[in-house]
Amino acid sequence: MAKSAKKAVKKAAKKVVKKVAKKAPAKAAKKAPAKTTKKAPAKKAPAKKSARKPNAAFMAPLSLSPALADVVGSKPLPRTEIIRSIWVYIKKNKLQDSTNKRLINADAKLKVLFEGKSQVSMFDLAKIVNKNVK
């Protein structure tokens, strides 16, 4: 088939498509109903959990050793408050190592508490507190 014949066939096909499109828009709408989306049923809210109660063992006041009392005070405190007080002392005196924040540099009071070590990891604080409370 020659090029001009191909062009003629394409033009004729386009005209037919246009005529069909003009005549049948109403039929096309009837054939293809609009899609409706159903909404998912609303989910029920999960039942509220009761407020978490602190463990009584952590809240019991503990007596402090003299070395620990120099840092946090002399009155008995719960374990959580002891750790918090030690961190307040460390931050106030800028004893956290500047290059590795996990290390704590000891000053005179903390060196006694850390059993003579000049640096201690923050993960060792729990052990140190455990040794210095009754």
Q: Where are the domains of the chain?
A: 63-131
* Cα distances (Å, whole numbers) of residue 76 to 73, 89, 117, 126, 132: 8, 17, 25, 17, 12
Give 125's pLDDT tier (boundaries 50, 70, 90): very high
For residue 127, how many other CB atoms are within 10 A of its CB?
11
- Residue 28 predicted with pLDDT over 70: no
**35's tokens:** 């899609």
Alpha-helical regions (H) of 32-132: 56-59, 66-72, 79-92, 108-113, 125-131
The answer to whether 97 and 105 have CB atoms below 8 angstroms apart is yes
How far is residue 95's CA from residue 104's CA, in Å, rounded to a whole number?
6
**100's tokens:** 């590795």
Whether the pTM exceeds 0.75: the reply is no
Give 8's pLDDT tier (boundaries 50, 70, 90): confident
Q: 63-131 — its CATH code? A: 1.10.245.10
How far is residue 50's CA from residue 133's CA, in Å, rounded to a whole number?
32
pLDDT tens for 55-114 read 787 789 999 999 999 999 999 999 999 999 999 999 999 999 999 999 999 999 999 999
pLDDT tens for 35-48 read 667 777 777 777 77
The answer to whether 134 and 63 have CB atoms below 8 angstroms apart is yes
Give 52's pLDDT tier (boundaries 50, 70, 90): confident
- Residue 17 predicted with pLDDT over 90: no
Q: Averaged over 49-60, what is the pLDDT?
A: 79
